[in-house]
Structure formats: structure tokens, C-alpha cells
Amino acid sequence: MSVPHPYWLRDNCPCADCRDPRGGQKLFRIGDLPDGLTAVETAEDAAGLTVRWSDGHRSHYPAGWDAPAGPDERTEHAKRLWQAADFARGLPEADWAAYLADPEERTAVLAAVLRSGFALLRGVPAEERRVLRVARSFGYVRETNYGELFDVRVEPDPANLAFTSAAIAPHTDNPYRDPVPTLQLLHCLRNDCAGGDSGLVDGFRAAALLREQDPAAFAVLARTPVPFRYRDRGTELTAERPLIGLDPRGAIREVRFNDRSTRTAALSALDPAELDAFYAAYRRFAAIVLRPELRLDFRLAPGDCLVLDNTRLLHARTAFEPGDGTGGHRHLQGCYADLDSLSSTLAVLRRGTAVLDELEALFEGEGSGEYLGEAVTLAAHMLQAAALARAAGAPPALVAAALLHDIGHFRGSGRELMAGTDNRHGESAAARLAPYFPPAVTEPVRLHVEAKRYLCTAEPGYADRLSPASVHTLAVQGGPMTPDEAAAFAAHPFGADAVTVRRWDEAAKDPSAPIPSFAEFRPLLMESMHQSAFAPPRR
Amino acid sequence: MSVPHPYWLRDNCPCADCRDPRGGQKLFRIGDLPDGLTAVETAEDAAGLTVRWSDGHRSHYPAGWDAPAGPDERTEHAKRLWQAADFARGLPEADWAAYLADPEERTAVLAAVLRSGFALLRGVPAEERRVLRVARSFGYVRETNYGELFDVRVEPDPANLAFTSAAIAPHTDNPYRDPVPTLQLLHCLRNDCAGGDSGLVDGFRAAALLREQDPAAFAVLARTPVPFRYRDRGTELTAERPLIGLDPRGAIREVRFNDRSTRTAALSALDPAELDAFYAAYRRFAAIVLRPELRLDFRLAPGDCLVLDNTRLLHARTAFEPGDGTGGHRHLQGCYADLDSLSSTLAVLRRGTAVLDELEALFEGEGSGEYLGEAVTLAAHMLQAAALARAAGAPPALVAAALLHDIGHFRGSGRELMAGTDNRHGESAAARLAPYFPPAVTEPVRLHVEAKRYLCTAEPGYADRLSPASVHTLAVQGGPMTPDEAAAFAAHPFGADAVTVRRWDEAAKDPSAPIPSFAEFRPLLMESMHQSAFAPPRR
């Protein structure tokens, strides 16, 4: 019996000996697999593929395990290439306060940076150093020789054109750095000069146009490393990279374009014909970059913060009247950051959205069925519990716990319990929620069954008030606690919260009570998730 | 009349309209040059090439302007590829205190990281967070989701193999990040377990061996982007990059190798034959990486800090006995940084060394000639002045000023002065030194002629003590100051220092006094240079 590509298949064995179940790290070395590995037995059905290997190992691959990934998100294939007219109906922008308060707004802004190469945050307080806080809302500041942040304004004795009032042609920043900063932020503190407007050009679009119109020129730029340099008293940065960087399959992955920093004297080593071809291609690309229809012009107002992909977008500004002490001034603060962290933050936000979508579908599907003989549906029961928690002014984590306390009954698991098998639905719900929610949510959920057993022991008369279904399940779940068990439970850090949830649980079986919608609780649920991804200002 | 490659030549015009004389930024856009540009007149001699262009511009290119650059310092061509036996006589290492105190020691350490991929600093105090200070001695810390720094030690519930006591096979760090951190630092705080030794493998060497032995396998790895992933509660990092990254000309430029983080399920999109070829190549490369003769083994002791190129070197550790509260412990602190800043710091250090070499050559060559009719040579005069400053306990900057005060007379300029033209040798010396030295050095140098004019006015009897040559030049230099000029000079922030240097200047014309060597002053001169590059701990 054989399977195609045995090493690939075996490399992806998802068993707990091969992959750490927590983070998915692979636990063996590719060279640990024996030479001549083959499958000696395979079985495939709707649940997936099972393989017994020539070295005795067994693997089970769930259906869909090998779904191909989307395109590399850093290449042109994952982008929306644009020209100015594509934004006739408005820029990708958001209000800073909404961005901070609403994870879906954050998702939209970060997705725009990945897809269109930029987004504009409005209303970021026009205060010094705020740009750092914007960067930390999705990633980490890349400190450079310019500092954690840099000021873009007219300086008395500038070493760099940026610090004059002159126009600056479209360029990417810091091409002389490797790794180049993949993100740039520019926060406008003041802009009341005549002139000083901003411009953006999609460098991937410009490169794609060059490829379309002059494939040979495109190929020359992609294969010619160009030396870039920046030099001041304490700095001498050099990098040698092509103007158009491709992935190994030929997709556009990076553009570096900055006339000011080229150090082309060093190109003298090129073959003479190649040198002429390079200059013809360079001038042709430069002409495309300057096409008016590619350039998106707009004006930064105080409080605007532009976030842009510095591996793709070129930015520019028009000349302005420099401030003279009586007239206007233009002052931006900028910093650098990196795309990988932004992308991570976006993925985790989407993970949160995805789990809420899944929960909402369960509430609206399976949850609308019978709830273990009670007079309300399972969904109505949990939604009522959450409404009671909300009405009691409980903190968000506890409202979330009340809302989600019985999700362990989903997937038909509740029937097992009624049939006399403890389905341990507190534990299973907590395990399902743990990747997304902190212990303040998952622990009261995990312990809410134990809380019933505790109250039967600790609170006289409690057992008498249980519903008939609850009395039935109590026995399956272990009956009332012993006094020692009850004392241990009372001392548990989340014991009291579990008891609180339990009381809402008992009260949430009223067929006449109003039932809120799951959607109402989505913002609160997002807010209750792990802080690392959802509380933007990390410090 | 025509020249080859007119656009390339013109792109490199060094005139002040085309290049900012301060930082060398190019001041025009490549597209600003007219179509059909030609040279209408050229003249070439020992001083260089002069060109008149069809658009009327004139350019002068000094001889040697187009010296080809060395190889891209990030590729294999700029490296010393190694195997373990190459370090039989010792590792590239330095003592932390010497590294801090001696710029030549810093130069050697940073050069080793670029050339061999690593260096070891010994005696870095085994204290928490010191690793950050090491990183800041040459660059900037790259913060990640792991924090500014991370602890490598046994953790109770590790999500990552690094935080166990297991052996870890040779790997590069964070292949799921793009940009990947190009430097890693590992600082040993404690290591008294059995086991837990460190290993390094030169990934460029391993890749070069694969290319030699199996060029097709090498090509497969270079052209196949591999998906890498890291996932935890607040993080989801992904990158898609080949195991062997090449520059556009095919030179090895980056190695990513980390079995634990591959997410090869996504390779299902590959052509079936390519998938088999990839796994054969991957396994062959993995076998080379594990060859004992490639692996350099050593043991980190408390206080050792390893600095390694994470785009090239693979690092590993052997298993160890975990500390159990009574036995040993192993605790490293690590952080990430980037090669470009390290390389910049090294270039600036070398710039300092180069200017000292040049000055030393002038002292020993031209400086050994006659000094404007005085009884000592020009070099002896300046060295005596420096000796007087040193004997007086002057701060390093003022000793440096005394040593360098008359370098404006070099290049034959002193003869002009004696012939009756003010050579403004204070100004020219200060301008020559300004790229390297701060005002505390350059200002007393610039003002030491003015100080003579000042003293002639302000100090009764001073003029009478001047040497005959000095009396002669005083008239050329403007004669004694007016009382207003003298008052302004006395108020200058560096006026007093200039007067101090002037007095050593006057006294340093003694043919019988001992003459120290220039070399004696090199450490002091390095120390007096711009702090941005030479005072390692930036904060």
C-alpha cells in the first residue's frame, strides 16, 4: 500500500507525539524520519485519512487538513492594487476613538493596511509622542538611528531634504536599511501652511504596469541589486537590494524607490550593456511612478495619523511655505514599525470574530432546541442568564461567563447527561473557551456545575428549589459535596463567581421573560477576550 | 563627443547642485534628466573626468569616483564560511570591559559577527536585563511579542520547546517573522546543570555544501517558499520564505531552518513532483546541518553573551538536567536586534580608524618637515603641544585639540601663509575634523589663531614673547584684535579653551623637549570622537 508524498504526509502528522497540542510546534526533526518511509495501510472516509507507517507510527488526518493556504499575504497576489480614482468615494479611514473601542473597526483598519497599503486614523490627539501609541495599538516600534520617533518639520541646517520645505517626490523610506522598516506612521501635529499636501503611490501597481508595458525592463530592475546609502556623523547604513523585489515564484513582494539614497557609482561593476539597460528601465519605472493618475493626493490635518506599508507604497509631499514665526507651520511626527506584528494582531482579532460567529450560529441553530426538559430553549436559558448578569451590573467577564456557561451541552452532549453519563459540560465549555477568554470567564463556566453541588451542601433549602431536570442531573454529577469538598470550593479564587453565575443559571428558566439577542453581547465578548490582542495601548 | 552610459555618469555627478555636500543625498530625480542626454565635451586627466552635457550642466568626477564596491556584505561572498575545526585555536571573543573601553576591540567583535556570524563577549555582568545593554552598544533592540527580552529557562507549562530541558536541534529563530530578526543575543545568567551546552552551525556553509553536492536540491530549496507559523493566545505570526534565500544574482543571502515552525500542510498547492523534490532536498539539507564536523560546540558560562547572525547561523543546545530546587539551573536572557545598525556602527568605527591612519601618515610624512622657520618640525610641534596638555591634566578633548591644532598647515598650506596669504589654517583644520570630532575639539582648533590676536590685545607683554615666525604671520592674520573684537572673543563659549591651546602652542617649539609618538594618542583620539558612534551604552 502506498500514499503519494509519504514524507510530506508524515511531516504533517497531527498526533500529540508529533505536534505540541498547545502551539502546534512540530516535535520531531525532518531527519528523524527513516529513509524509505512508506505507508503500509491507509483508510479514508468522511472523517479523514488514517495511515499506518512502515516504522509503526499511526497518523490520522482530519478531512480538510491539507486545505491549500491563500497567497503569501506580502505579495501582489494578496493585495488590491490601486490608482487614485479607486478612492473617489473616500479613503480607508477610521476615527481613533472608534478604533480603540471597537474590535471590528480595528479589524477594518488593519485589513486596509494589508490590502490597500495604508489607512488613515482621524482624531488621534495632536500631541507629541502619540504616534508611538498608535504603533503600539497593533505592534512594536522599530527604533532606528533617528530615534524611537522622528520629527518632520523645517530645520535650520538640515542634512536631509525631509527637513526642509521643499517638495519631495514619491519614495519609500530607508531603502539603505536591511531589514527595511515595513511600516511607517506619520502623525500630523500641525499643518497650517500653504502647501504641504501628502501624496501616495501604489508601488506594486507601478511595478505591475511596468511589467505589462515593458517586461524586459521589469526583469532588469528585479535582477539588479542597487546600492543605497545613508551617512551622517554617527551613521553609515548601506543596503544592496533591487528596486523591485520578487518572491521565488516571480510575484512582486517589495518595492524600494528613493532617488536620494542611491549610491549608483558602485554599479560600475555591471556589464556595460546591463548598465544601459538598468538606466533605461529605472527611468521608465520612475516615469510610471510620477503618472498623475497613480498619485492619490490628500491633506493631513492635525490629529490625522497615516499608517502605510513601506515595502509597497511610495509617499510624497508638495512644497510648502515655511513657517517664519508669524505664519503657518507643518509638523509631523513619524515612527517605524513592522507588518508581521500588524498581521498577527489582525489574525487574532479575526480569530475572535470567528469564534463569536461560531457561537452565534450554535445559539441560533442547535441552541433553539429543547433544553434538557426545561421550559425554555438552551439558547434562551443562556441569554436570560446573561441578561440577569447584565441587569445586576456584573463586570463584563462575568456577563460573558453567564452567557456561555452551558455551551458544553452543544453538539448533542446534553443528551448524554440526561441519559445518565456526566458530560462534564463545565470542563468541556471552559476548554473550548480557553484559547480566547481569560480565567475570569472560563473558571466560573468550568465551576458552575460544582457550584450546584456546593450550594446543595452549604446553603440550607437550596436543593429544594432545583428544577426537576436539575435534580436528575445532580446525582449524575456526583451529588452534594462533602463538607471538605465544600470548604475547598469556597476557598477557590473563582468559587464565589461560580456561585454567582449558578444563581443566574437557576433563575434563567422563565418562559415568560424577554430574551435578548446574542448579537447584543458581541462587543462585550470581544472586550472580555485575552487582553494581549484586544487592549490596544500595550503601555 | 560621447561617453558610455551617459545617464549613469550624470546620475553620479558630485556637484553641490546634484548632491547635498553634507550627507550625500541626491538632489534631483532620475526622471528630471532630459531624454537623449549626451556629453558634448569631455576632458580627462590625472585629476579626473570633466564633462559638459547636452543640457548645459557641467560635471567633474574625481579620479576613482567609480571604484566598484565590494560584495554585498550580507551575502556569502562577504563571509568567511566555517566548520568547527576552523575555531580550534579559539572563538572570536572579547572581554566586555575591553570592548567598552577600546574602540579597536569593538571593531574586532562587530567585524567577527559580520564575517563569521558570531562573537562571544565574556564577563558581561550576569545580571537581569544586561543583554539589552549589549544590544544597545551597537544597535537597537527589536521588540517582539516575546517582549524586549525573553528568558530561556525551564517553565512549568511551556508552549515552546525552548522552555523545557530538552535538546534543541540546530535552528534559526523566528522564521515565522518577516522581517526576521537578523541578530540574536543570548546572555548566560546561570548554567550549573549537567548538560545544556551550546552549538552553532554555519547555515551558509551548509547551504554551500548542498549546492556543491546536489545543485538541483539547492535550487529546489531556493525556489520553494515554505510557510512558517507561530501561534499562541495573543499571537499568530506567519511568513512564507524559502529555506535558502538568494540575492538576485544567486548568492546565498539568508537561511531559515526551523523544523518546529514549518506549516507544510499548506504546501499541498505544490505540483506533486515538486513536493517530492522539496522533501528530498529538505531532508538532504537537514542531514548536512547535523554533520558533526559543522557543529561548533561550547559551553556558555555566567556572564557570556553570544551575539549571532540569525539570517545565517543555526543555534542548538544539548539536553540538560532541569533544576529541581536543590540542583543546578540554566537561565539565559535573550533579545533580538538587527544587522544593519551593527554594520553602521562598525563602519563609523572604521571611519574613525581611517582618519587616524591618515593623520598619522601626515604626521610621519609631511609633518617631519620644516615648520615655518621654527626650530622643530610641524609634527614635533603638535606632539609637544599635546604632551604639554596631557601633563597639565587637560580633558581628552583639549589634548586632542592641542595635538591637531595645526593640521591646517598640511598639504603645503603653511607655505602660503609665510608667503603672505592667510591660509586660514584654523578654519580649514576645524572643517577637516568636524565629521569626526565634536566642537569641544574643533572649536579650540578653529579659534587658536584668533586666540593669538586676542592675547596680543588682552595680555600686556604677550606680543613681545612671540617667535619671529609668529610675529611675521600675525600681520597676515589681521594683527591684534580691536577691544570690541577682544570682548566678543572672551565671551565665546570656547574662547578660554582656545587661549589654553594657544599657550601650549607657543610653548611647543623646544628642540630639546622629548617628543611622544602619534600612536600614543590614538585611544584618546578615538574616545574624543562623536559620541553617537563611540560611547556604546546609548542609555
Query: What pLDDT digit, counting tens, does each position of B6-31 carry?
Result: 999 999 999 999 998 877 889 999 99
Q: How far is CA A472 from CA A372, A408, A418, A427, in A?
A: 10, 18, 8, 19
Q: Is residue B328 part of a domain?
A: yes
Mutation pick from B314, B340, B433 vs chain A, by most beta carbons of A within 10 Å, is B340
Q: Is residue B145 less than 8 Å (CB to CB) from chain A? A: yes
User: Are A103 and A22 in a shared domain?
Assistant: no
Q: What is the residue range of A365's domain?
A: 359-534
pLDDT band (50, 70, 90) for residue B2:
low
Query: What pLDDT was estimated at residue A327?
Result: 56
User: Are B332 and B461 in a shared domain?
Assistant: no
pLDDT band (50, 70, 90) for residue B442:
very high
Q: Is residue B384 part of a domain?
A: yes
User: Are B435 and B516 in a shared domain?
Assistant: yes
Q: Is residue A348 part of a domain?
A: no
B451: enclosing H helix or E strand: helix B439-458
Going by DSSP bridges, is the β-strand pair B330-337/B141-142 parallel, antiparallel, or unpaired? antiparallel
User: Are B256 and B329 in a shared domain?
Assistant: yes
Tell me phi and psi for residue A531, to 5 degrees. -65, -30
B532 → closest Cβ in A178, A233, A247: A233
Query: What pLDDT was estimated at residue A471?
Result: 86
Report the domain count for chain B: 3
Mutation pick from A17, A20, A143, A295 vs chain B, by most beta carbons of B within 10 Å, is A143
Q: DSSP character for B380? A: H
B121 is written with which cell numbers? 563577549
The alpha-carbon gap from A119 to the nearest alpha carbon of chain B, in Å, equals 21
Query: What pLDDT was estimated at residue A97?
Result: 95
Q: What is the DSSP string of B211-274?
A: HHH-HHHHHHHHH--EEEEEEETTEEEEEEE-SEEE-TTS-EEEE---GGGB-GGGGGGS-HHH
Does the structure show a pLDDT above 60 at B380?
Answer: yes
ipTM above 0.90, yes or no: no
Task: Give every CB contact of residue B524 below 8 A, 6+ residues apart in sequence.
Answer: B396, B399, B400
Point out the domain boundary residue: A280, A306, A337. A337
Query: What pLDDT was estimated at residue A24?
Result: 83
d(C-alpha B380, C-alpha A16), whole Å: 78
Query: What pLDDT was estimated at residue A240?
Result: 96
A277-280, long-range: CB within 8 Å, 24+ apart, which pairs?
A277/A216, A277/A217, A277/A220, A278/A220, A278/A221, A278/A224, A278/B8, A279/B5, A279/B7, A279/B8, A279/B11, A279/B30, A280/A217, A280/A220, A280/B7
Query: What pLDDT was estimated at residue A536?
Result: 42
Going by DSSP bridges, is the β-strand pair A235-241/B93-95 parallel, antiparallel, or unpaired? unpaired
* Residue A474: CATH number of its domain: 1.10.3210.10
Cα angle A491-A495-A498, degrees, rounded to a multiple of 5: 170
B214 is written with which cell numbers? 546536489
Point out the domain boundary residue: B62, B90, B108. B62
Q: Is residue A431 less than 8 Å (CB to CB) from chain B? A: no
User: Are A333 and A388 in a shared domain?
Assistant: no
Instruction: Give me the mean pLDDT over the B323-348 stretch.
Output: 88
With beta carbons less than 8 A apart as the criterion, state whether A300 and A332 touch.
Answer: yes
Per-residue pLDDT tens digits of chain A, which is 539 residues long: 457 789 999 999 999 999 988 778 899 999 999 999 999 999 999 889 999 999 999 999 999 888 877 899 999 999 999 999 999 999 999 999 999 988 889 999 999 999 999 999 999 999 999 999 999 999 999 999 999 999 999 888 777 778 888 899 999 999 999 999 999 999 999 999 889 999 999 999 999 999 999 999 999 999 999 999 998 888 999 999 999 999 999 999 999 999 999 998 888 888 889 999 999 999 999 999 999 999 999 999 999 999 999 999 999 999 998 766 555 789 999 999 999 999 999 999 999 889 999 999 999 998 888 777 778 899 999 999 999 999 999 999 999 999 999 999 887 666 777 777 777 889 999 999 988 899 999 999 999 999 999 999 999 889 888 888 888 888 888 899 999 999 999 999 999 999 999 999 999 999 999 999 999 999 889 888 876 444 443 33
CB distance B159–A22 less than 8 Å?
yes
pLDDT band (50, 70, 90) for residue B292:
very high
B248 → closest Cβ in A223, A260, A348: A223
Q: Is residue B69 part of a domain?
A: no
Share of chain B above pLDDT 70, in %: 96
Minimum Cα–Cα distance from B148: chain A residue? A140
Q: Is residue B85 part of a domain?
A: yes
pLDDT tens across B188-246, in order? Answer: 999 998 899 999 999 999 999 999 999 999 999 999 999 999 988 889 999 999 999 99
Instruction: Give me the mean pLDDT over the B90-96 stretch.
Output: 97
The answer to which of A139-148, B266-275, B526-535 has the lowest mean pLDDT is: B526-535
Q: How many CB pairs under 8 A join A and B?
A: 254
A30 → closest Cβ in B233, B234, B283: B283
User: Are B192 and B149 in a shared domain?
Assistant: yes
B483 vs B416, residue with greater confidence: B483
User: Are A57 and A197 in a shared domain?
Assistant: no
Does the structure show a pLDDT above 60 at B484?
Answer: yes
pLDDT band (50, 70, 90) for residue B537:
very low
Query: What pLDDT was estimated at residue A156?
Result: 81
Torsion angle (degrees, nearest 10) of CA B280, B284, B286, B291: 160
d(C-alpha A396, C-alpha A535), whole Å: 14
The alpha-carbon gap from B341 to the nearest alpha carbon of chain A, in Å, equals 7
Query: What pLDDT was estimated at residue B324?
Result: 61
User: Are A253 and A321 in a shared domain?
Assistant: yes
Q: Is residue A347 part of a domain?
A: no
Does the structure show a pLDDT above 70 at B1?
Answer: no
* Residue A19: CATH number of its domain: 3.30.2020.30
With beta carbons less than 8 A apart as the criterion, state whether B247 and A239 touch.
Answer: no
Q: Is residue A87 part of a domain?
A: yes
Q: Is residue A135 less than 8 Å (CB to CB) from chain B? A: no
Q: In the predicted model, what is the mean pLDDT of chain B?
A: 91
Which residues on neighbouring strands pair with residue B406, listed in sequence order? none
The alpha-carbon gap from A346 to the nearest alpha carbon of chain B, in Å, equals 9
Q: How far is CA B517 from CA A331, B429, B467, B522, in A?
A: 51, 20, 25, 10
d(C-alpha B413, C-alpha B369), whole Å: 13
Mutation pick from B236, B249, B276 vs chain A, by most beta carbons of A within 10 Å, is B236
B264 is written with which cell numbers? 507544510
d(C-alpha B204, C-alpha B201), whole Å: 9
User: Are B413 and B276 in a shared domain?
Assistant: no
Instruction: Give me the mean pLDDT over the B300-326 stretch.
Output: 90
User: Are A376 and A472 in a shared domain?
Assistant: yes
Query: What pLDDT was estimated at residue A469?
Result: 83
Does the structure show a pLDDT above 60 at B315?
Answer: yes
pTM of the shown model: 0.88
With beta carbons less than 8 A apart as the criterion, state whether A337 and A185 touch.
Answer: yes
Place of cell 456561555: A404
Tell me phi and psi for residue A377, to 5 degrees. -75, 165
Query: What pLDDT was estimated at residue B526?
Result: 86
Q: Is residue B346 part of a domain?
A: no
d(C-alpha B42, C-alpha B60), whole Å: 10
Q: What is the DSSP string of B141-175?
A: EE-BTTBSSEEES--SS-SSGGGSSS-EEEE-S-T
Q: In A, which residues are within 8 Å of B25 by CB distance? A: 159-161, 260-261
Q: Looking at this protein, which amino acid is placed at residue B229?
A: R
Minimum Cα–Cα distance from A258: chain B residue? B29
User: Are B254 and B385 in a shared domain?
Assistant: no
* Residue B199: CATH number of its domain: 3.60.130.10
The alpha-carbon gap from B175 to the nearest alpha carbon of chain A, in Å, equals 11
User: Are B25 and B136 in a shared domain?
Assistant: no
Cα angle B302-B304-B305, degrees, rounded to a multiple of 5: 130
